[in-house]
Structure formats: C-alpha cells, structure tokens
Amino acid sequence: MFKSYKTRLSSLLKRKGYWGAIKHIIIILYRNKYNNERFIFCVHSHNYQLNNVPTNNIIIKQYSKLQQVPPQVFMKASEIQIPEIIQHNWEKKLSGGATLWIAYNHSAEAVGLAWSVQKYHYNFPFFPLTNRDCVVFDVFVFKKFRNHGLGASMIKSIVHQLLKSGTERIYLDISLWNISSLKMIRKLNFELLGLAKYSKKRKKTTIKWMTDYNNIYNNLMNKH
C-alpha cells in the first residue's frame, strides 16, 4: 500500500513539479470533502428528442475490451492518472460490464472519453436500477480541447446512441463542487431529480435526500 502511494506521489511530482503537485493534492482534498453530495439527473426516452443531433463534428466510438483502445488514448489519459493505474482501472470497469466511449475530432484525434454501464454501477447507490436503465459517468475532456462545448456534445451523442439501442432512462450524477459540469448539463434535456448525500461505513451505504435541492442548485448557478 505504502509503495503504491509512494509511486503515485513520485509520478505526480515528475509530471507537475513541486508546487503543481501541492495544488493538485489541495484540489483533490477539497473535492473529496464534497464528493459525497451529488445532484442526480435523468433523461427518459419518452421526453427526449432523438433528432437533437450532436454538434462540434465529433465521432463517438464505443469499446468493450481494453485491447481495442488505441494507444493515443492511453497517452492522453495520462493527464488523469499514471498509465499503470489507468490500465488497472479501465480493465476493472470493462470486465464489470461497462462501456468506454471515446470522442474523436475530424482529424481522428481523441478529444475526450466517458463511461456507461447498464443496470448497475458501484458508484451509483442512490436507488435500484433496471435492465433498461443506464448510468453515464466519468465524463472527461482532454485539457487541449476544453472550453469548446465538447463535454455537452459527447453526452448528447452517447445519450442519442443509448436511447436508439433501447435504453429507457439514463442517469448522471454530478458532485456539488463540479460547477462546470453542472453548467454543462443545463444545455441538455436532463431533468434534475434531487440532491443526495451518501456515506459509507463498514460497507453499509446511507443515503440522505435533500428537500431543498432546487434552491441549492439555483443558488450555485447564480453564484457562478
């Protein structure tokens, strides 16, 4: 365990330098503090317009095996984590039934990625899901391509394909601290279901739903 943390810290210092590593750790600590408070959003096949064609000329491809993922994507993903951890985490997700979605621009360059899983996701404990439900999670746009609306375009494209394949409901949960993603979701046809706070103790998960979620959400949007 100690060796694993030492390796991560060494890699972080190498990639970001001393002050960059400190800034990165402070951000992680701040996010972890509020990471258990999530806004839950949903799109239903009955009220979503399938003719809402994705913009930005991106092409979305899906992958179910690690061997299918192009090497360039692994190189770009090193922005998030060190390669060994990426390979381990992605293999775990794919073997658990998740789908990796990768977005490409007109030059066939990877611009971002996202994940989805049918029925069950270990990090979505808020309520039971059926075989017709899907969770979209870990949406990430590579640094070079940010601030161009690509995150929203990626989600629109993934939703479009999932609903066409027979999925009835698609869920997305966004942490309270993630203002950019909360702003992005306003551009899409997702319905805000609520704000849930969850805690894990001795493998038992407790969920607390906030009754004033609309006010909390609107206040966040007005502040930013």
Domain ranges of the chain: 1-33, 35-223
What's the rounded Cα separation, in Å, for the pair 81 and 86? Answer: 6
Of the given ranges (41-55, 79-93, 101-115, 183-197), which has the lowest mean pLDDT? 41-55
Q: Which parts of 71-219 are beta strand (E)?
A: 99-104, 110-118, 133-141, 169-175, 191-201, 204-210
Closest CA to 46 of 185, 220, 167: 167
Q: Where are the alpha helices (DSSP H) in 96-178?
A: 150-164
Q: Which pLDDT belongs to residue 66?
A: 92
Structure tokens at 196: 């849930």
| Residue pLDDT, tens place only, 73-85 | 988 887 767 777 8
What's the rounded Cα separation, in Å, for the pair 10 and 125? Answer: 33
Q: Which pLDDT belongs to residue 99?
A: 95
| Residue pLDDT, tens place only, 87-143 | 888 999 999 899 999 999 999 999 999 999 987 666 678 888 888 999 999 999 998
Closest CA to 114 of 87, 84, 150, 81: 150
- How many whole angstroms from its chain centre is CA 123? 11
Handedness of CA 149, 154, 155, 161 (dihedral sign): positive
Mean pLDDT (the chain, rounded): 81
End-to-end C-alpha distance for the chain, whole angstroms: 39
Under the phi-then-psi rule, with left for phi > 0, alpha for psi from -120 to 50, and beta for the rest, what region is 21?
alpha
Q: Of 3.40.630.30, 2.40.50.140, 3.30.43.10, 3.30.200.20, which CATH number belongs to 35-223?
A: 3.40.630.30
Closest CA to 111 of 149, 65, 137, 85: 149
